Amino acid sequence: MCGIAGFINNHKTEEILREQVVSRMLTRIAHRGPDECGIYLSDTACFGNVRLSIIDLKGGQQPLSNQDGTLWIAYNGEVFNYVELRDELQKAGAVFKTQSDTEVVLKLYEYYGEKCLNKLNGQFAFSIWDLKRKRMFLARDRMGIRPLFYSLLRGQFVFGSEIKALFEYPGVERAIDYKSLKQVFTFWTTITPRTVFKNILEVPPGHYLVYENGNCQITPYWSLNFQETTSYSGGVHEAADHFRTLLKDAVRLRLRSDVQVAAYLSGGLDSSATTALIKELHPEMLNTFSIGFTNKDFDESKYQEEVSQFFDTRHKSVICSNLDIIGALQKTIWHTEIPLLRTSPIPMMKLSQLVHQNGIKVVITGEGADEALGGYNIFKEALVREFWAKFPDSKIRPLLLKRLYPYIPQLRNASAAVLKMFFGYQLNQVDSPIYSHLLRWRSSGSIANFINEDHKLLLDSYDPIKEYSDSIALRLEGLSTLAKAQYIESTVFMSGYLLSSQGDRMAMANSVEGRYPFLDHRILEFSASLPDKYKLNGLNEKYLLKFLMKDCLPQSVLRRPKQAYRAPVVPAMLNGGGDDINKYIDPEMLRESGLFNEKNVTKLISKLKKSNHISEVDNMALMAIVSAQILHQLFVKEFTNLSKEKILKGVVRNI
């Protein structure tokens, strides 16, 4: 995996200054590609790449040009079907000078233009500069696995794999966008194309961008359609056979590499399934890694060890303590570039560090299975609430909700009356396009009440939930409750949080590339077309995957209740955080940042220190406030200057 950054500037600027700017941009993201650095310079376009060498270690240097030097590419990602695409291009007369997938992407663009994107099976963000047309083409993979940001300012265009690279460009403002902050405190992320910073946007997943003659145009090339279109006369057996073929091929493609590949092992169904298929395809590759916790409420080590022993993997694990979470918090926010409502990304940072220390650059993970195959408790919750809404006075139906969250004490022991009070919010709004998420977003959205009242007038008139609901209503019309919920999780939570803050950013912080077989677009399209009963059968989640793996995994993994991946918040921050946390919620620093109402934050901290039963919302509020304060400190107030000694010297490809 790699990182890219650059700009289009038609103003006359000395060549040496252009090289300095793009070098500084690339230095900010050097963790994404520590192996090599390359730069392209011209009077108009300046861009470059930091490379993590995985395919064609000797010949894949970037930026890379076509034969006559009219097209140049800087590329972040992997196209897993590049071997087949290369054969197709060679039959059409293409001549290659490297063995890299980068050149395959460039040749495809040369032959097919933007339509080349439909041929790619992978995870990518890339830029292609057309020297003749003075045209920059940017594209991002279907699900947004790889990040890509841009900013427009006074006839100039700036882009990069991470926002910190854009902040090295002169004139790019470093300021928090309060509407975006309210989105984060509601959805756990911003709604694409917004970011939490003013005037910094992302290229949405499944879109490409063209910047030409001072104009910027963004166009979708793919979207996920949750419409039940496939029926199987052979029932679940036939569906499982089709699924197995797709999943096995997705794993096979993602094992392509010129370096060693390993796998994450959480002890759950998804990572165990991918490990089973790796064992079948390439048993010699079975290096597995896992994360455990000193806090037993969050620890799944016994399941990880059981799966490792079952498949006889070469397994390594690391334990995460409360002090580890505090110690890595600032570094985590530096890499996420967005406030967090959970501490969950921090252990993933520690896990990728373990992988890096063992000399491995690529890991297979199980992300995407929950979204594609109905694995989350929020899906069950929506169906139970819909079932309950048919008889809202029922004393029995709300008790079904107790089965969903056995790991949350307040709900595990709750009475029907308490469950009704908590889960009964807008119970009868079953036709709402966001019915499944009304309760979650209402709860998390209350965090916005801590925002400084100086911004109250702006935020009181802004309703991110209504704005989002209105934007997707037509698209989700006629879909089942499960399909609507899957669409929201796949396009908001997964791309904006799971694959970003908890995925790409934590892995690439340690120069590790994650690969996701369940996010192969063929599997996503297949899953979206399935009848609901093959995904969520009653309250049995991921029914088809369990059916497929019933003879391949330990029964304890197949039968264990769904447990969300979580990490400690309040116990880590207030019981073990000490000065490291207190300085960010100190009244003086709260006043200095201006983000939050000092009195409200002080009341929250006092409440958390006294309470023996801390709600999920209060946990999230604490994390949101602390992480936003850190974000402001790192990016708005300080943004540490780069020393001359640390600035990368890239190989200049063209002048």
Query: Strand pairing partners for 4?
Result: 49
pLDDT range class, residue 155, cuts 50, 70, 90:
confident
Task: Calculate the average pLDDT of the chain.
Answer: 91
The contacts of residue 586 (CB under 8 Å, 6+ apart) are none
pLDDT given at position 653:
65
The fold adopted by the segment(s) 235-367+499-559 is Rossmann fold (3.40.50)
What is the distance between the alpha carbons of residues 41 and 515, in angstroms, rounded to a whole number?
A: 32
Q: Is the pLDDT of residue 69 over 80?
A: yes
pLDDT tens-digit profile of 489-516? 999 999 999 999 999 999 999 999 999 9
Burial class (CB in 10 A: 0-12, 13-18, 19+), 312: exposed
Rg over CA atoms, the chain: 24
pLDDT range class, residue 297, cuts 50, 70, 90:
confident
pLDDT range class, residue 405, cuts 50, 70, 90:
confident
What 3-state class would DSSP assign to 14? coil
For Cα atoms 72, 77, 83, give the angle at the middle one, nearest 5 degrees.
Answer: 85
Q: Which amino acid is at 380?
A: K
Q: Is the pLDDT of residue 590 over 90?
A: yes
pLDDT given at position 654:
58
What 3-state class would DSSP assign to 38? strand
pLDDT given at position 212:
95
Biggest alpha carbon–alpha carbon distance for the chain: 75
The contacts of residue 582 (CB under 8 Å, 6+ apart) are none
Nearest to 626 by CA among 603, 650, 592, 595: 595
pLDDT range class, residue 573, cuts 50, 70, 90:
confident
**Dihedral Cα 454, 455, 458, 464, nearest 10 deg:** -150
pLDDT given at position 408:
67
pLDDT given at position 576:
59
How does strand 201-202 pair with strand 149-153?
antiparallel
What is the distance between the alpha carbons of residues 130 and 126, in angstroms, rounded to a whole number?
A: 13
The Cα-based distances of 146 to 118, 574, 583, 621 in angstroms read 17, 34, 33, 28
pLDDT range class, residue 14, cuts 50, 70, 90:
low
User: Both tokens of residue 198?
Assistant: 């003013």
Nearest to 199 by CA among 169, 244, 239, 231: 169
User: Both tokens of residue 599?
Assistant: 């009195």
What 3-state class would DSSP assign to 255? coil
Q: Which amino acid is at 494?
A: M
Comparison of pLDDT for 2 and 369, the residue scoring more: 369
> What number is the average pLDDT over the span 410-430?
80
Q: Is the pLDDT of residue 323 over 80?
A: yes
Q: Is the pLDDT of residue 378 over 90?
A: yes
In this structure, of 57-71, 148-162, 203-217, the range with the lowest mean pLDDT score is 57-71
Residue the block writes with tokens 């140049």: 72
Q: Which CATH class is domain 2-222?
A: alpha beta
How does strand 36-41 pair with strand 651-654?
parallel
Residues 584 and 629: beta-carbon distance below 8 Å: yes
CB atoms within 10 A of CB 551: 7
User: Both tokens of residue 554?
Assistant: 């330990």
Burial class (CB in 10 A: 0-12, 13-18, 19+), 220: exposed
Residue the block writes with tokens 């509601």: 186
Nearest to 401 by CA among 391, 393, 386, 390: 386
Nearest to 228 by CA among 540, 491, 487: 487
What is the distance between the alpha carbons of residues 372 and 374, in angstroms, rounded to a whole number?
A: 6
Residues 177 and 198: beta-carbon distance below 8 Å: yes
Residues 495 and 205: beta-carbon distance below 8 Å: yes
The contacts of residue 216 (CB under 8 Å, 6+ apart) are 150, 152, 157, 209, 210
> What number is the average pLDDT over the span 521-535?
96
